[in-house]
Structure 1
């Protein structure tokens, strides 16, 4: 389409693309969304809030000004620095413009249909601010594509910042080497102080110079400095009458996982039941004694521990066992370790030093979430602890395995739990890419996956991945939507909600449909016809989503493929929707662009051209109050169709017909 001017439109809820009862899906998705912490917030709005949060606390590293100059003069800057130096955040802040519309576009080079890493020039839209992080992917082949990829920047008035690990610097071309800046860590005491001041904490500089704190700040990654500041804020909120010197030691110890006394204590546990009870309490801090008892019994069974054959009244009661472990039942009737850091120490010890029992721990977690009557907080805590340890020990695949176990029976009751465990890995600093690639592989192949599992993938992509990786989320939702059947199509709803949230994302979906999706006989995947027709209706309602010749060409190409290769019963209802959108267009330019696109797509196919013309006349007669307006739109469409077929002149301002009789159909 041509440029439509200004139009404000945003999807705030899922589209209903089928007539069926969606209660089961919506209820399960609503619970999962709440447990993931979004509570219905637009993921793209969450991303903007996160960038604003970081901007307020950002301390520029040395040579940041030079990088800004290079970006301004050459539209490209390459940032190199060691892990933990804040290089990714520095790249975000180079591109950050609070007043700009869409946010920063993080380029994902690994989502080609063939699975190969590639940079897609077609995904760049006007005014784009692009961030390409090559830190944790196979980047060697991509470096050769950068020069060609950069050629589109000036054409689209776009900017690009590349994050490059130091070991790849020598592989840069001479052209890109001139655009490289090595960024060093900013002063971490200044970063911590900036975070604290935003939390209304103003300790004197001398308070940060104590040996323990100073030693931590000497080599801590920037993300850990931010976590320390957040921990200090929480400690202040929990004990506002205290002092800064009382607030920082606890959060610092948690970050360091520094509890030598606790590690020695775990070593003293020589009885299997004691060890099982210690691990259970660590996983279920704050649970009731009944829950702890049921969970420890399940753990002992999964581990194959022999049963205690003594009569029950001869055994030590649970309260005594818990007290001996230093985790008595509190006044609220809940079980916790008396020493707050002890739970983390126990978890780390068992996952690190009992590697042979990890399969049993995995089965135990699956069983407890499935069978025990855990409340929502207990379930979330249990899942979070498992995910944290699985990721810490380098086993992100266990998250997927657990999600499959909870959903393979077909019911939706455990779908929110499956979404919770997958979400824990999606944004992980180290293993996030691996988890996202696992999700991509699952989305691509339907296989023996249950609907509940694919619904969990849908929720995670739409609610979590879409925040910081919207392109990747869109690709995965597209694969999921292709395979949906029946009236209830949550993946398609989520895909449309994401694609219509930004013009760039709409262009990306159109590009996928028009390039990899089209073949000689129409769409390669049958489900893409449904996806496209739903997207086309959204574009008709919000024409600003599809501006510029490239997007118009793709839209027309896809629409023409539908007219050429699909039965008219499949697309006929959408023609009326398109005409209604043209009648309701805010400007004549919007209206004429919609009609021109419809005509250009139908004109090469006489049967489709004739059918759309007949449908336009039926659309006119189906109305009562606005028939005159509809008649004018239909006449404009007829003239556009004649022009597209080469049998008429471009329309100027035609007079609408003055009767209800249908004009002669175009040849």
Structure 2
């Protein structure tokens, strides 16, 4: 939303904040001492703001509890160590007969299985290229069981396959090994595999190697075969039917598979389950069929797959050291965390944020080090798949237009919250680099970055509020320095708004906002004003508007300062009032603005006029909740037609609901009659441009203009606006449009209105 934070002092002339955090620029005053309106127009909200805000809040809901699971499974996992339930290292030694039998009964052939088997039979060696947890080890064991008649062993993953000798292999045996991802293990080339193949042939044995490094595939020659995961429904059916084979109820398997297809079970499992999760679901279904657990237990067990996966992703960081392999692990961790913050954002933003966080993690381990970056992106797709993420088509709005762009998102929208909660609560030493990164990203020029980061940081605040209050919120709500912004009140406002969704934290935040409103610094009061402009402020609109009234008009009571000292605070109150209007509280906001206009206080009038300036710059596409809101506090909600999305929102609202025409016209007339009406005149000029392009909008504008005329001065002022645009040096208003507007201004003379 707003780039609330100036990089200079809060004096009469305030520079733009595009260098510090992007967003919208703050208002600037040129020669005014009174006003809010003499500052001219300010940049309106970006159209994507409401979409990003609502999307992030939907994905990061503190009311949805994501708990860490317990490793209690007996038959879980997609690797050969099926009794472990997570991606543990391959342990050397023979594979037990019962494990191979278990696989035989349940294995679901993957695409390309026949080619794998042919390659293994011909070359005695095959390298299966696939991600961990994709079922590749199970496929390898099934291949070796078929080739070596059940005599299968695991090789030590650290064993140097380049130096292995013929005597190291037993006759007529199958071997499984995983190519180690260590700095000390040089990549195997095709010539090394040829030698290993000859040794195996002499012993009439077979070997399957597992590789997750797709960038090395060309070095492996004809030995490499892609190993995709099995088809989910087939895998689930094989496991369920095998588990209930001996049951007396012949129809049990089909009923359980029908249950697995139920919407609530599929939702709990997620949209893209890996084999381990499908095997776990099969076990839960069988237990349910036997009466051991309830259906709720089945759903809860499925939902635990998300925190389990996240725990596996970050478990290796406890032992991470130094070197290239450690750097890869930290970069991947940085990418996953950055994606949790920026889920469904443009590819380049997520990758850059992930690289930046990865570097922060590396510097935490080696403080004196300045990490470099690899120029190659060979591992980009691998990191994407290893993070269970995908690239999807999306769009970015530029004004009224939208341009297509590729976005990255998790395949399961539960992952962002699970990743953030796990990292924050289970990896305390990651907090410091993460906080540095949050502060860095909160000053990013793109709304897509700083707003998402601020809202996600608000979730972290709700998880440990005492810690976050000092390290995140207080820092961003701190006073401005003389040379550059030390804090970003707009970031603190978003953090507080998001954290307040947690019922445990909300009372504390409300009390904190009350204290800051009464006794806080200027920056903290700006934070309060910003926070009240979001969902938290809608919980009690009348109370919120009263708070904004006080915050936005306090300068008149300050005998030792001038209005310019509080310009940023007043400006933030204006923006929050406009945002509440966009949230759907249009009627309540209009009622209070009319009451304040008639209160007789100079500071309140200027707050009203400044808010009207903000509202005049809003278009229907700025509205939240798909353009649905209450035009009046006691009336049903209405929705503005989508065909009018480019109309000025005040014009569209009064045209849709005639009961709002008089209040809107009254507020606009008051602003136009004020000494600093230049900003309002400018945006009314913009309205005529919209009417010039849209005949329906022009008709509505002509009908509305007569409501702005109560005396000769009103009519003369509107004629001046039309004439100024008609004589514009670059884009003069078309004569027929100008003539229609002038007829509308003169069509309902003020004398007749008075009578």
| TM-score, normalised via structure 1 length | 0.37
Bigger RCO (CA 8 Å, 6+ sep)? 1
User: Based on CA coordinates, which of the two structures has the bigger radius of gyration?
Assistant: 2
| TM-score, normalised via structure 2 length | 0.34
